[in-house]
Copies of this chain bind each other. A is one copy, B any other.
Amino acid sequence: MPVLPFDIPFLSVFSSAAGGEEGVAFADTLLSLFILFLAAKMGEEIFRRINQPGVIGELLGGFIVGPFALGLAHVTLTAEVFAELGVVILLFTVGLEVRLDDLLKVGPMAIAVGTIGFILPILAGIGIGLAIGEDILPAALVGLALAATSIGITSRVLAEMGVLDRAFSRVILGAAIVDDILALLAIGVLSGLAEGDLGPETLVTLIAGLLFVGIGLALAPLGRRIPRKVFVWPKFADTPVVPVFIIMFAGALLAQFVGLAAIIGAFVVGLFVAETPVREEVEHGFRSLLGIFAPFFFAVTGANIDMSALLDPELLLIVLVLSVMGVLTKLLGGIIGSWRLGKWNSVVVGMGMSPRGEVGIVVAALGLSLALISQEVYAVLLAAVILTTLVAPVMLQWVIPRAPRDERHGGDEAGAAA
């Protein structure tokens, strides 16, 4: 490791000693991490002081210091890794707060919300795609880019507002799993169609994804039988934090390996640990990890916001139409799928499912690499994905206080569990 890698004149001898370019890259990486973190926290601070969701402040803080604004921080591969670990730890801690039984109780509702909320955006996207003159396959890709929810942002808002124990939160989390499995399938089918070879791989991928979630959920109840001493059995472990970190990391990697999002793996591991006797200890120990890693996720997401598509009025219009339809279709999916939770609670579910994220970006990138869509449509899709991400926290902060606690389905169990 370079000791003195800053590239200022009277120290240049050191950075050359540390390996020239590598030394500079190292220093730049560390400094960029610091700037991203600081910007996220300052943004959060400002937004909290004006009673707005802190997460929007973190996103905007990252945007402001990022390459598309002031350019003070580079989004290095290292920053992306910190961001990924941040959202993995975030979803793991969300899993810690959810009781598996409560989650399974809302299972059918979550499947309805996840499925309806996945199909409607695809239909809307196809409609918009055809309307702007695309063929059916590119139009389907536009729809798919709008279909997959990313619950990083939502779960942060739910945690911040202290409502992770509410029924709507569990429906959102369950629906996100369903959503991710559907995305896995749809991406496989679409790319198979585009490349003209819809082989058995798609089926294998789907089965692997279903098996992962199925086995994970089936194993979770076994957590109750595992005594604390198993977690602190290693000599290196005074507390369960490090062993659990290893399990969480492994779960995230395994989920990625079978084709799911890493955060789904981390969430399932969180569900498992929540059933064990070390739950509270782990929750406590992970608090500082969450505090240090999670801001990188929001700062990096913000720093990657490229709003250049919004400068062209015609493209701006398409972006707005896509964003509005993106939010409305998820909202409708939530309302239809979880209507039994009551009006406002189902609106919360719909809004909670609205933010799109990395899956939408991956789909757009896939379309670009398969030459299904143009650079312009790609930029439009990214902008629309990001807008849905920015809108949701503000809306959630507004609708959650309106959702009554004593709705008939789910609310009661939630109260009892808390």
Whether A241 contacts B10 in the complex (CB less than 8 A), given A41-B246, A236-B44, A369-B16, comes out as no
How many angstroms from the CA of A9 to the CA of B288 in the assembled complex?
38
How many angstroms from the CA of A45 to the CA of B243 in the assembled complex?
12
Q: A1-58: which residues lie under 8 A (CB-CB) from chain B?
A: 1-6, 8-11, 13-14, 16-20, 22, 25-27, 29-31, 33-34, 37-38, 41, 44-45, 48-49, 54
How many angstroms from the CA of A253 to the CA of B80 in the assembled complex?
20
CB-based contact A235/B48 at 8 Å: yes
CB-based contact B3/A358 at 8 Å: yes
Per-residue contact bits, chain A 286-297, to B (CB 8 Å; 1 contact, 0 not): 111101100000
Whether A14 contacts B81 in the complex (CB less than 8 A), given A286-B288, A289-B292, A362-B2, comes out as no
Q: Given the complex, which residues of B lie within 8 Å of A90, measured CB to CB?
A: none
The 5 closest A-B pairs by CB, nearest first: A17-B366, A10-B201, A48-B235, A78-B78, A285-B288
CB-based contact A242/B292 at 8 Å: yes
CB-based contact B205/A29 at 8 Å: no
How many angstroms from the CA of A31 to the CA of B84 in the assembled complex?
12
Q: Given the complex, which residues of B lie within 8 Å of A204, measured CB to CB?
A: 10
CB-based contact B31/A253 at 8 Å: yes
CB-based contact B30/A81 at 8 Å: yes
Any chain B CB within 8 A of the CB of A318?
no
How many angstroms from the CA of A44 to the CA of B237 in the assembled complex?
10
Q: Given the complex, which residues of B lie within 8 Å of A253, measured CB to CB?
A: 30-31, 34
A38, closest chain B residue (CB): B246
How many angstroms from the CA of A365 to the CA of B14 in the assembled complex?
10
Which of A257-265, A343-351, A404-412 lies on the face that meets chain B?
Answer: A257-265
Any chain B CB within 8 A of the CB of A245?
yes
Any chain B CB within 8 A of the CB of A230?
no
> Which has the most chain B C-beta neighbours within 10 Å: A22, A241, A363?
A241
Any chain B CB within 8 A of the CB of A98?
no
CB-based contact B235/A49 at 8 Å: yes
Any chain B CB within 8 A of the CB of A187?
yes
> Which has the most chain B C-beta neighbours within 10 Å: A250, A288, A358, A361?
A288
Q: Given the complex, which residues of B lie within 8 Å of A205, measured CB to CB?
A: 10-11
How many angstroms from the CA of A235 to the CA of B3 in the assembled complex?
35
Q: Given the complex, which residues of B lie within 8 Å of A187, measured CB to CB?
A: 13-14, 17
Q: Given the complex, which residues of B lie within 8 Å of A287, measured CB to CB?
A: 239, 241, 285, 288
CB-based contact A288/B241 at 8 Å: yes
Q: Given the complex, which residues of B lie within 8 Å of A365, measured CB to CB?
A: 17-19
Q: Given the complex, which residues of B lie within 8 Å of A363, measured CB to CB?
A: 17
CB-based contact A256/B45 at 8 Å: no
A184, closest chain B residue (CB): B4
CB-based contact A13/B191 at 8 Å: yes
Any chain B CB within 8 A of the CB of A128?
no
Apart from A8-B257, A239-B287, 8 more pairs, CB < 8 Å: A1-B84, A2-B358, A4-B260, A19-B365, A37-B246, A44-B235, A77-B77, A289-B292
Return A16 CB to nearest CB of chain B, in Å. Answer: 6
Any chain B CB within 8 A of the CB of A234?
yes
Q: Given the complex, which residues of B lie within 8 Å of A292, measured CB to CB?
A: 241-242, 245, 289
Any chain B CB within 8 A of the CB of A335?
no
Any chain B CB within 8 A of the CB of A249?
yes
Chain A to chain B contacts (Cβ below 8 Å), 23 pairs: A1-B83, A1-B84, A1-B358, A3-B261, A3-B262, A4-B256, A4-B259, A4-B362, A8-B257, A11-B259, A13-B187, A17-B365, A17-B369, A22-B77, A26-B84, A37-B246, A41-B236, A41-B246, A45-B236, A241-B287, A241-B291, A245-B292, A288-B288
CB-based contact B235/A45 at 8 Å: yes
CB-based contact B26/A81 at 8 Å: yes
